[in-house]
Structure 1
Amino acid sequence: MRHATAPRAIQVPAALAGHADGNSTTPAFVILIAAAFALGACGTQAPRSESDTSAPLTPAPASLPPADLASSEASTTADDEPLPALTCGEAKAARYMGQAETPALHETVSRAVGHAKIRWVHPGDAVTQDYAPGRLNVILDETGRISAVRCG
C-alpha cells in the first residue's frame, strides 16, 4: 500500500524569482512571458501575397440628404470642401417675417416651405435643444409676430 505524501514545493531560482530568497508571489519570468506576448501582438502585418486579391476594408461613404432637402447654398469646411446644405425652407418662410400668428398663417407657411415639420416658438416656451436640419423653427415675439425663422 502506498502512503500519501505531501506535494513538494517547487523552488524557483533566485535569479528568476525577483527576490533573493526565492519566495516571490509574482516571479519575474511570469512578467517576462506576459511582456513577450504583449509585444508579439504589436508586430507588423504580414505582407500580402500577389495572389491575395481581396480589397482592404474601407468605411462606407456617408449618405447624402434627400434631394428635396438640398439647396443651392453649400456650407464649407475648414478645408473649403463644399458640403451639401440642408434647408428647412427658411428662405421661403422669411417673407412672412413681422406677420401675426394665425391658423391661416400656419397653413400658408407650411405650404410655402413644402412640409409640416414646423415648430412655432412663443416667448417663454421650453424647447428641446436637438438639431433637426429639416425642421423649421418660427420664432415669435411678445406681440405674436414672427421675429425669426431658422432651421433646427
Structure 2
Amino acid sequence: MVRSFVNAVMLAAALGALAGCGQRNGGAPGPDASTVTAASVTPDANASSASADDPCGATRVEKYMNRRDEPTLRAEIAGLFPGETIRWIRPGEAVTQDYLPGRLNIIVSEDNRIDAIRCG
C-alpha cells in the first residue's frame, strides 16, 4: 500500500517536471531555448514558400542574420510564420534531437546575434 502511494507520488512529480518543459510563447530572449508558436494554427500557411530544399522557409529570414536577438525581432520573425514553430537556441542550451523538417531553428551566438538559421 505504502509502496504504491510512493510510486504514485513519484510519477506525479515526474509528470509535473515534464510539464515545465513545454513550449514557451513570447519573444524575450532568455537563458533557455524558447519556442514561439502563433496562437492560430493554420496548416500549410507557408506551403507556397516551403520546398524540399527549404521545408521550414529559412530562406525568408536570411536577411536577419547577424541581427541582435531582441523581443521586437522575435515578434517580427514570428509574424512571418503564423501558426508555425520557431525554436530559438542559445549557446550551451540543451535541445531535443528530434528532426521536424517544418520547424525553423534560429541559433543565437554568444554575443546575442543570430548566427545560423536551419530547418529541423
2:46 alignment partner in structure 1 = 68
TM-score by length of 1: 0.45
Matched, 1:102 2:70: yes
Change over 3 Å in CA distance of 1:72–1:146 after alignment to 2? closer
Change over 3 Å in CA distance of 1:116–1:105 after alignment to 2? farther
Kept in 2, the 8 Å contact 1:96–1:146? The answer is yes
Equivalent residue of 2:46, what SS? helix
Kept in 2, the 8 Å contact 1:122–1:140? The answer is yes
Kept in 2, the 8 Å contact 1:93–1:113? The answer is no
Kept in 2, the 8 Å contact 1:97–1:148? The answer is yes
Kept in 2, the 8 Å contact 1:117–1:135? The answer is yes
Determine which of 116, 120, 125 is the counterpart of 2:88.
120
Determine which of 16, 35, 58 is the counterpart of 1:90.
58
- Distance (whole Å) between structure 1 residues aligned to residue 63 and residue 107 of structure 2: 14
In the TM superposition, residue 93 of structure 1 has moved relative to its aligned partner by 1.2
1:143 alignment partner in structure 2 = 111
- Distance (whole Å) between structure 2 residues aligned to residue 132 and residue 148 of structure 1: 17
- Distance (whole Å) between structure 2 residues aligned to residue 143 and residue 116 of structure 1: 27
**Structure 1 runs (4+) greater than 6 angstroms displaced:** none
- What stretches of structure 1 of length at least 5 have no aligned partner? 1-64, 76-85
Kept in 2, the 8 Å contact 1:69–1:88? The answer is no
The size of the alignment, in residue pairs, is 78
- Of structures 1 and 2, the one with the larger relative CO (CA 8 A, separation 6+) is 2
Kept in 2, the 8 Å contact 1:135–1:151? The answer is yes
Equivalent residue of 1:68, what SS? coil
In the TM superposition, residue 73 of structure 1 has moved relative to its aligned partner by 4.5
In the TM superposition, residue 133 of structure 1 has moved relative to its aligned partner by 1.0
Kept in 1, the 8 Å contact 2:105–2:119? The answer is yes
In the TM superposition, residue 67 of structure 1 has moved relative to its aligned partner by 7.3
In the TM superposition, residue 113 of structure 1 has moved relative to its aligned partner by 3.3
- Distance (whole Å) between structure 1 residues aligned to residue 56 and residue 46 of structure 2: 10
